[in-house]
Chains A and B, each alone.
Chain A
Amino acid sequence: MPGVTMSSGGKRKRKQKGTPGATALPPEVNEDDLYVSDEDLQFVKKHAQYAGFMANLDTATINKAFEGPKKEKKPVKKVERTEEDIESRYEERAERNAAKSDENVEAMAVDEDVDALPVKSLTGELRYLSAPKKPSDAKALLEERKANLQKANGTFVEPPSEGHEGVSTVEAQPGDTKEKKVKLTKQERKKLKRQERKTEIEEKKKSEESAAAGGVDQDANTEKEEVSYISVQQRRMELKTHMAELGMGLLANPEANLGTLKELQEMCEDRDDSVARLALLSSMAVFKDILPGYRIRLPTEKELQMVVSKEVRKLRDFETALLKYYQKYVQTLIRAAKSPARRLASLKCMGALLDAAPHFNYRDSMLKAMVPRMMSFDDEISNLACDAVKSLFKNEAKHGGEATVEAVQLIAELVKSRRYRVRPAVVEVFLDLSFDENLEKTSTTEKNAEKANVKKSKRVEKKEKKEKKRELAKQLRKEVKDDFKEASSAPDVILRKKLQTQTLAAMFETYFGVLKSSLEPPDEKVLAAVSREIDEGYDTLGLRPLLGPSLDGLGKYSYLINVDFMADLLSTLGVAAAGGKNAETRTPEDMLTVGERLQCCMVAFKIVRSNLDALTIDLREFYVQLYNLLFEFNSVRHDIKYSKVFAEALEVMLWNNRQNDMQRAAGFLKRLSTLALHLAPAEAMAALVTVRYLLQRYKKCRNLLENDGGGGAVGGNLAKYTPDGDDPDVSGALSSVLWDVTLLRRHAHPGVVKIASEIASMSAMTETTMLLSLTPSNAIDLYSTRGGGFRPAIQAPAKVVKRKAFKSAGPMSVSSFDDLAMPGGRINLEEADISSIPESETAEIGKHLAKEFRTLKNFKENSTLRKELRRVTARLELHKAYLASKPKVSKVSKVSKVDKVSNVDKALKPTPIISKKRKPRK
């Protein structure tokens, strides 16, 4: 019965055909089964009666079930749905059968049945998940587990799951691909796999296209969209797991699995944004780990020709491939950064890569993409970019400073091209730069050493020849030693110094540019041109967005500014502090704000201070500016940062500088105290603390506290105070009086009152009593009420506590001896003892003690009286002796007689008596 045999064989065949697709039977089924052996034929013939049922099989339905998709070359959607139902139903049945026959598959088949629940689509239609989907997932899991096991063993074979997955994805798609697949199953297994991967990709593209098309005209392809919706969700899930697998494989063994990067990269360019984002991020994670710690240099032609060992070749190949993939990836990233949907992910990737591997190739192209994003008006993007650049600056060790130079130069160019009108964050990143001062120092010491050498050699010439020779030899030896030393370590230092100089040059160029551009009133034409390029958000920048951060930077890096630039810089700052060029003709809005001008003054001082070794300069101009700015300063409408600038200016210019002359100090004293009258409490405190400090340091200025106008000698030639003067030096403040302080003593704020009264009482005070370590910044921090509440907190009214009369102390206070000087502490001590003794006894003890003390008092009185008596008698004795030595004068004796008559009281004042006696004689 050839027909029967054929049918049985055909059934098997069909089953096998169906299995990889429909039920996903394990691929282990041999191809050999396809051909029917003689033994088989015999077997069938023997048991012909048992095989008879096969003849009755409904081949039509089976065929339809299996080959249905084949017939639909151009699938109509509605048919497809029923098709699917039939398919799934059939599959269930087939699986049940398979479960009976094949135990291995059984468990899986059951799983499938359980998992393959119908899904409700968005439109509310019940839809059976194509059953093979799940098994493929389950299998993927299984494969993953397997792969993990293999990984644990150390060798990783490319997962065969791909084939399955490919099949499954193909299976998920209805229509023409299925047909293809069916054709392909006839071919060899390996070929199939390869092909299927291709079809998979095609499939993806198709689905993407459909998704895209669906997005464009929904009305036309609503149904199609539904299909694509489901498939997109699934696809995402699948690709996610796939990515994870690839990533794991790559991390486990990058050399072997480098090829899989290609797949990842394809996914990076996926039409589906979310897939692409995921792929970008996962490739970033992979690259972060597998990039080597050095920069890859591709071998030159010559090197390629040279014979190398196997290992070297292997490494070379790996590096070349890696570099190629990385290049492609970076290109993808840069491209992705342009599309709005993927921008964030790609920037994240670039940031992470710049952070993790700044030394590696293609850093510059990433930087070029990154830096312009710093001035984006989207906070998130700009933060990402800024953080990436900051991390470059902070981790200079990773790339040896080259990336820093590139980044700084790029930023400088960018800022310049935007005419210094970009987000402040762009320039603020410079504050994270770190410069090695020692590099500069080493160079200077070297120069010094050279100078010394020159001097030495000059001296040597004068000496005799022998000595000269000896010295030269010695010098030569030393030089050789030095050269050796330099050769071993110098190149690095020289290179680093060069890089640092470049960085500094670019940075300061930006700063100076900002400063200069802020001097002039904004040119409307230029602004319009720039603002056309940039979009919304531009107006929020303000007039001089970069001035603040630039001044901060200048202050911070002031010690690195070349002395040659200082003059120019100081004069520019001077103009800026005065409010910009042609300040008189400009409107107040155009002019630099008070805060900015204060900052300018401060920076000037910082610059001068950090270059103190060059020369001590008295920055009179800036004092004058500060003096005038104090009047314009008004803290009420500004935030705390503004007040902090004020405080810092006071600290930098008046506290830390020891170089004020007295007139100037007096000018500031007077103006600050006047200012304190109308400032908010916190700022008033800052001003008053400064006043106190100045008074402490310039003792002569305490004349201001005396109630004596005109200043006296200290006032000098300036006899009259001009409160509205421009120059503190000639304000004549020394001839005024700090009457403001008296008013401040009635201030509402307790802190102000306290310090004002302290200042007022200062003239009589000693230095130590007023040493309160409060600085202007401290004062702002402590007393600012911007955070709400009162500072210091208002004290609750004190409760009136009735004092209980201390009964046991009663007899003590009544007793007569309490008026005797007795230290209070002692009484308390005794009270404790006494209270334990009964009252009658205490009274008696009291009497006794009183007696005792009275006698003691008497004794004391007695002794003092005796002493006086002794002294008086001694004087009298002396007087008598004197009288005896001058016997003749009768007058004197008369007087002396009178004296003798006068009693001891008069003798108490012996000196006037003697003088009286002497006077009449003369």
Chain B
Amino acid sequence: MRPLDEAEMTQVLEKLHKFVGSNLKHVLERPSHEGPDGKGGYVFRLHKQRCYYVSDALVRRATNVGREKLFGLGTCLGKFTKSGKFRLTVTCLDLIAAHAKHKIWLKPSAEMSFLYGNHVLKSGLGRITDNTAQYQGVVIFSMSDVPLGFGVAAKSTQDCRKLDPNDIVALHQADLGEYLRMEDEL
């Protein structure tokens, strides 16, 4: 377990920025109420190629556990691949959903398809945030505002108007179904 170096940090923040935009500030400056004094914030920690978002207090306590024995701590944001790239995993969904700038809401009929790992089609699009650019990171919600996953907008909001019902609106990156499908990888 160690803090991220600069290159890693930029990678992580860039990825997060895609989804939360200027709300990244809120993510970084979020106060934590854990620990004896109830003050402190959250930090990023790297452990076993994974990036964790942890409160200060928890980091201090986790130092008591050996590196081999420590499985994980805090919220896992994603992992660094062998080639050194950073990928967000579904575990970070709660964090980015709370701060997301651009959202897509799915019709109930399209929820299941998305949770099986498919892309979002125009026919399943319930609602979309205005001014979403192409390749902008979007968080995907059900109509009752439950975050289902996240992905990348395949088309801008304007282009979405003219799409056919079978065209892809958002590309799938992660969804809640992965907790079942890829249980051991997480």
Contact = CB atoms under 8 A, between A and B. Distances in A.
Given A614-B161, A616-B126, A661-B141, A717 B98 contact: yes
A621 B161 CA distance: 19
B113 interface: no
A570 B158 CA distance: 11
Nearest to B23: A730
A716 B130 contact: no
B48 to A, nearest CB: 24
Interface string B20-31: 000100100011
A618 B105 contact: yes
Given A716-B94, A730-B99, A620 B129 contact: yes
Contact of B94 (A621, A717, A727, A730): A717
Given A616-B127, A618-B127, A720 B161 contact: no
A615 interface: yes
Interface string B72-105: 0000000000000000000000110011010101
B67 interface: no
Given A716-B98, A730-B26, A730-B99, A571 B131 contact: yes
A104 interface: no
Nearest to A604: B130
A216 B125 CA distance: 81
B160 interface: yes
A563 B161 contact: yes
A659 B107 CA distance: 13
B137 to A, nearest CB: 15
B31 A618 contact: no
Contacts of A566: 158
Contact of B145 (A615, A617, A621, A662): A662
| Interface SS, B side | mixed
A753 interface: no
B11 interface: no
B128 interface: yes
Given A614-B161, A615-B160, A720-B31, A620 B94 contact: no
A679 interface: no
Contacts of B99: 717, 730
Interface string B114-136: 00000000000111111100000
A661 B161 contact: no
A897 to B, nearest CB: 65
A661 B26 CA distance: 19
Interface string A580-608: 00000000000000000000000000001
Contacts of B161: 563, 614-615
In this complex, the interface size class of chain A, counting residues with CB under 8 Å from chain B, is 20 to 34
A63 to B, nearest CB: 101
B93 to A, nearest CB: 11
A718 interface: yes
Given A618-B103, A661-B141, A718 B98 contact: yes
B39 interface: no
Interface string B135-150: 0000001000100000
A615 B126 CA distance: 8
Contact of B129 (A563, A617, A662, A730): A617
A330 B179 CA distance: 83
A574 B126 CA distance: 23
Nearest to A620: B129
A248 interface: no
Contacts of B126: 616
A727 B125 CA distance: 25
Interface string A641-683: 0000000000000000001011100000000000000000000
B181 interface: no
Nearest to B27: A717
Interface residues of B, number: 25
Contacts of B98: 663, 716-718, 730
Given A661-B141, A716-B94, A616 B158 contact: no
Interface in A594-639: 608, 614-621
A605 to B, nearest CB: 11
A892 interface: no
A549 B30 CA distance: 45
B165 to A, nearest CB: 12
B173 interface: no
A361 B95 CA distance: 71
Nearest to A719: B33
A87 B8 CA distance: 122
Given A727-B23, A730-B99, A661 B130 contact: no
Nearest to B122: A615
Contacts of A720: 31
Contacts of B95: 717
B141 A617 contact: no
B130 A619 contact: yes
A621 B131 contact: yes
Contacts of B141: 661
Contact of B130 (A563, A620, A662): A620
Contacts of B26: 730
Contacts of B33: 719
A821 interface: no
Nearest to B30: A717
Given A567-B158, A661-B141, A716-B98, A617 B23 contact: no
Interface in A722-741: 727, 730
Contact of A618 (B23, B128, B158): B128
Contacts of B125: 615
Given A661-B145, A719-B31, A617 B157 contact: yes
Given A730-B98, A730-B99, A616 B128 contact: yes
B100 to A, nearest CB: 8
Contacts of B130: 570, 608, 617-621
A720 B26 CA distance: 11
Contacts of B145: 661-662
Interface in A686-722: 716-720
A359 to B, nearest CB: 41
B122 to A, nearest CB: 9
16 contacts: A574-B131, A615-B157, A616-B126, A618-B129, A620-B103, A620-B129, A621-B130, A621-B131, A661-B145, A717-B30, A717-B94, A717-B98, A720-B31, A727-B23, A730-B26, A730-B98
Interface of A: 563, 566-567, 570-571, 574, 608, 614-621, 659, 661-663, 716-720, 727, 730
Given A617-B129, A617-B157, A621-B131, 11 more contacts: A567-B158, A614-B161, A615-B128, A617-B127, A618-B127, A618-B128, A620-B129, A661-B145, A717-B99, A718-B98, A719-B33
What 10 A-B pairs come out closest when comparing CB atoms?
Answer: A717-B98, A616-B127, A661-B145, A567-B158, A617-B130, A614-B161, A618-B129, A615-B161, A619-B130, A620-B129
